[in-house]
Structure 1
Amino acid sequence: ARFVEGEFCFMTGIQAGQKPLPKRLLVGRPFEMAMNRLVPLLVGAVREEDHSTRQGLFAEVEASVQSETRKAKFSILPHRTLVAVTVPALMRAAESFDRLDATANSARLAIALRQYKRDHGEYPGQLEPLVPGYVDALPQDPFDGQTFRYRRDGDGFLLYSIGRDRTDDGGAPTQNRSGDLPWRAAR
């Protein structure tokens, strides 16, 4: 949520006359008025910890962006374009944060799994034995709020997040950035 608030402060500074954008884009302040309506919705969505609620709030933000860009008084092309580009970019930034969060938590779990194997001679059958000796609590997959997926795989393991597309592909890597985020250890 801090990055969204920071972006809001940046945009407020722009509107206060710091001029990184041509002044003609801000005449009449339709961009400012639209962003004043949209950014609090986006901040609320980013702050929401419950994944399914957050996704619903993101859908509301997307619908609000569409509504703002259709308003008659907001028909000046530069203003419409700024809102249509800025808010989705902030939403992509929030999704990137979720991806980084998933990657960091996967790394923490992978380290805990290695330590468990060092102490017990093999990887656990599930993640629960890691608590409390190796991690304080099992982190949730930021994309669905569930525990990270894990299974032993021969002498190694497969640990993964379901990724941005929120579809469990069994840990299979995908060509795009929206699929599962696997962490595989051969042994």
Structure 2
Amino acid sequence: MGEQKSKRGRNVAIALAAIGLAGFLIPCAGILTWRASSQAKLEKQLDRMRANGQPTTAAELSKHYVIPAGAEDATQLWIDACTPLDTEQFRLAGTDLPIVGANGPLEIPPPGTPWKEQAAVQQLLNTYADSMQLMHQATALGGYARFDHDFTQGIALLLPNVQSLRSGARMLKLEAHTNAHRGDPAACLQSLEALFTIGRAIENDPILVSQLVMIAMDGMAVRTTVDLLPHLQWNDSQLQRLQELVRQPNYLDSVRNSLLGEQVFVMQAFENPISIGEERTTLPGLPFFRAGDQALYLELMGDYIEGTKVSWSESFRAADSAQTRLTEATKSPIHGIRYLLTTLFFPALEAVNAAGARADSYAKLTDVLIAAQRYKLANSDYPKTIEELVPTYLPSVPIDPHDNAPVRYALRDGYPIAWCVGIDMVDDGGIGGGKAEPDVTLTLNPEKED
């Protein structure tokens, strides 16, 4: 009897041990299955990227980053021109001047009115005459460049050449205003051509920061053009050249190209989270959830990039859809940790999307206003409708990047005003200024702020 009880006890112990082991192994099997599923999802996204010819590593991104076929390489000219403009000596020399100086006035008076800093600005331009000459030489080559970026640094990559180009753009803007005040429209056009062209130096950079700098530099070019347009006697041929320059960039392609680089940088951050900050590497579960987190990021980015292949409005729709899906995926605290890096990196793209569409709007509006100026040159008055500009001065009425409707146009106080609806998709009649989300507006009325 005692032996039977002992045997039953051993059997119970074995059964309990088996149950305990099963209780351990079943969750482990579930976890392994879940991790395998996450890894499979990640591999699916990587296969999709490769099938679309998108870079997945720093080495592939470096091969992807090229100067356009047939274009000449102006890289060294831009470097030699702009490096002296990114120094303490330059900052001190221009500190009290407009555009380049931290303490200078925000605005330059229009041609024909006194400009008290004009002589000092001319002296600065003379001091950096070599830089100005080199920028014009780079412009003559078309301006395209490929800088020596170390893409293995990922989101920690420094961009000294990109920042120095911005100083170059500011000097070109000063030169354009100086030539305008001297009453030399031909020289002013040369300055504006260089100002439009300097952005092409980083047009193909697969880096979001580079695209934002390019957009800022192109913004200087279009705003300077519109500011000076009512004051200078450009002939029709010169105005046509300005239209060619305004039409040159393709911001949707440039933003999409930068998103390809952003994907690679974020993928590197997934593999080496220390690169995004020591405090984030200590969060629980980061390595454990990495494959699933990265798979979701690449899935959302993939949909977003597909949207940029169609139009700005489709890009906005894709961005909104991706953000909604991310919000749904991270409702619970555990999923907030599970998709931590996707949550950190994805929202920044919305600002680039908005900036790109806004830059495209300004380029189209500037094209319309130059066309209106050409019309006035031939007819003594500005056109009453935008349709009057087609096809002699515009090939067709430009399309608003935001809502795919024709660009709006009107004559107010005798001057043309053109506008796009902006990111809120609401036509406010070209009203800017105090609205939270104003229309994107430009006018040739020298008395009105855009």
Q: How does the TM-score come out when normalised to structure 2?
A: 0.38
Q: Secondary structure at the match of 1:169?
A: coil
What one-letter code is carried by the residue in structure 2 that aligns with 1:48?
V
| Counterpart Cα distance in 2 of 1:175 and 1:59 | 26
> Which position in structure 2 is the counterpart of 1:8?
263
> Which position in structure 2 is the counterpart of 1:117?
376
Gap change, CA 1:153 and 1:72, over 3 Å in 2: closer
Gap change, CA 1:6 and 1:177, over 3 Å in 2: farther
Give the CA RMSD over aligned residues: 2.5
Q: How does the TM-score come out when normalised to structure 1?
A: 0.84
Tell me the number of residue pairs that the alignment of Structure 1 and Structure 2 aligns: 184
> Which position in structure 1 is the counterpart of 2:415?
156
Matched, 1:46 2:273: no
Query: Which runs of 5 or more structure 1 residues have no equivalent in the other structure?
Result: none
- Judge conservation of contact 1:141–1:148 (CA < 8 Å) in 2: yes
Matched, 1:27 2:287: yes
- Judge conservation of contact 1:102–1:142 (CA < 8 Å) in 2: yes
Cα displacement (A) at 1:90: 0.5
Cα displacement (A) at 1:130: 1.8
Q: Secondary structure at the match of 2:429?
A: coil
Q: What is the CA deviation profile of residues 44-86 of structure 1, one whole-angstrom value per residue up to 9, with x for unaligned ones? A: 22323273x4444333212111122236763428x43x33342
> Which position in structure 1 is the counterpart of 2:431?
172
Cα displacement (A) at 1:37: 2.0
> Which position in structure 1 is the counterpart of 2:321?
60
Kindly name which structure, 1 or 2, has the bigger radius of gyration based on alpha carbons: 2
Report 1:71-90 matches (<5 A): 74-76=335-337, 79-80=339-340, 82-90=341-349
Matched, 1:37 2:293: no
> Which position in structure 1 is the counterpart of 2:404?
145
> Which position in structure 1 is the counterpart of 2:253?
none
Q: Secondary structure at the match of 1:70?
A: coil
What one-letter code is carried by the residue in structure 1 that aligns with 2:322?
V
- Judge conservation of contact 1:106–1:183 (CA < 8 Å) in 2: yes
| Counterpart Cα distance in 2 of 1:147 and 1:44 | 24
Q: Secondary structure at the match of 2:275?
A: coil
Cα displacement (A) at 1:98: 0.3
Q: Secondary structure at the match of 1:76?
A: helix
Q: Secondary structure at the match of 1:158?
A: strand
